[in-house]
Amino acid sequence: MLLREEEDMKTIIRIAPLDAALVLRGDGKFEVWLPHIHGDPPPNALAMSALMCAYHDERIMAMIKDAMDAAGYEYLDPPPPSLTPAGERADTH
C-alpha cells in the first residue's frame, strides 16, 4: 500500500459558458460552476442546481437514492462516506 502525505492537487477543468460543474471534496465542501442565465436554464444547469441543493439535505438525498435503487442503478462498491449525507448512510448493495 502506498501512503502519501496530503498535498494540494492541481486540476484544470475547462468550463465553457453554458457548462455546469459540481466538485464534491472529500471533506464535504463543494465547488459549483453554473452558467449565468437569466431565462430558461438548460437541463444541465437545472440538474446541477438540484444536486447542489440535495447534497446537504438528507431527505432529498434519500429520495434520490431510493429512485436510483428503484431504477436499478448499482454501485460497484459502496459509495465513499464523503458522498453520502453527512457520511451517515450505511446501507450498501
34, 16 contact by CB (below 8 A): no
Q: Domain of 78?
A: 21-87
At 71, list the grid cell: 431504477
At 65, list the grid cell: 437514492
Is residue 83 in a domain?
Answer: yes
Is residue 93 in a domain?
Answer: no
- What is residue 91's predicted lDDT score, i.e. its pLDDT? 53
Rg, Å, the chain Cα set: 16
20-41 average pLDDT score = 82
Is residue 6 in a domain?
Answer: no
23-47 average pLDDT score = 82
Is residue 48 in a domain?
Answer: yes
- What is residue 59's predicted lDDT score, i.e. its pLDDT? 94
Is residue 58 in a domain?
Answer: yes
Is residue 50 in a domain?
Answer: yes
With residues binned 3-state (H G I as helix, E B as strand, rest as coil), the percentages for the chain, rounded to 5, are 35, 10, 55
pLDDT tens column, 45-79: 888 888 888 888 999 989 998 999 999 988 777 76
Number of domains in the chain: 1
Residue 17 has pLDDT above 70, yes or no: yes
H or E stretch at 53? helix 43-54
